[in-house]
Amino acid sequence: MHPFQHFLLGGFNQVAQDTWANDERIVIQQVFFNLVPDLPAALTDLSALQKGMAKMTAAQGGALIEADVTPVGGQPALRQIIKVKLPNQPHGQAFLGSYIVPKATCSAVLRVQAAESGTTGQREALVMAKVGPASYFRPHPYGPDGDGGLPSHVADDPAYDPQFPQHPLTRVRQVMAQLAQQVELHPGFAALPPFAR
């Protein structure tokens, strides 16, 4: 069963089963997990969910940029965006967005990922030059549980997306917004008992 249905974004081609990519090397992937979701809290407890996801992401060396609960295909989903260091490279980051639709015994995940290439860190450098080092770094938005991974800073704020239209974080947000408008859920998956913590 493919939980997500009826999404087709311009410029994306299927490159593998359940995987699509475009010329900008943005990848969309849908995954079905036949396991009880490992979310730290119920979708109705957003604060605990954000803190728990921030802690999990930091423990893996990344950082949770944003997390909220939003409908996808008429069902509540965890929408999150994280950043991670590019593996085996001294510089650069990848940005991973996902919609997680949890059920009592399984979950469906729709991922969008894009990585920096070429000269990395331009968005960060230009924003730091604009706001100054003292205002650049900030406490993790979901509390100290998010500390320990990549730092939290204002350059990841969506307010800067229009100034950096080709940045992978901007593109991940754009593609996720397009998917949320198009995606439908398989009726069999949608009817499954909801996730409860």
Residue 118 is part of a domain; what is its CATH number?
3.40.1000
Q: What is the mean pLDDT of residues 50-77?
A: 95
**Per-residue pLDDT, 6:** 77
* pLDDT of 148 strictly over 90: no
Q: Model-level pTM?
A: 0.95
**Per-residue pLDDT, 125:** 95
Q: What is the mean pLDDT of residues 148-176?
A: 96
Q: Phi and psi (nearest 5°) for 68?
A: -155, 175
Question: Which run of H or of E encompasses 190?
Answer: helix 187-190
In a domain, 158, yes or no: yes
**Per-residue pLDDT, 2:** 82
Q: How many domains does the structure of the chain reveal? A: 1
**Per-residue pLDDT, 89:** 86
Q: What is the mean pLDDT of residues 36-54?
A: 96
In a domain, 16, yes or no: yes
Share of the chain above pLDDT 70, in %: 99
* pLDDT of 175 strictly over 70: yes
In a domain, 152, yes or no: yes
Output the CA–CA distances (angstroms, integers) from residue 27 to 15, 149, 190, 196, in the order listed: 9, 24, 25, 30
Question: Considering Cα of 43, then 47, then 48, then 54, what sign does the dihedral take?
Answer: positive
In a domain, 62, yes or no: yes
Contact 185, 72 (CB under 8 A): yes
In a domain, 35, yes or no: yes
As a whole number, the mean pLDDT across the chain is: 94
**Per-residue pLDDT, 1:** 64
Dump pLDDT digits (tens) for 6-17.
Answer: 778 889 999 999
Q: What is the mean pLDDT of residues 112-127?
A: 94
Range of the domain at 64: 4-186
In a domain, 191, yes or no: no
* pLDDT of 167 strictly over 80: yes
In a domain, 91, yes or no: yes
**Per-residue pLDDT, 197:** 80
> Phi/psi class of residue 3: alpha, beta or left (left: φ > 0; alpha: ψ in -120 to 50)?
alpha
Q: What is the mean pLDDT of residues 73-89?
A: 95
In a domain, 197, yes or no: no
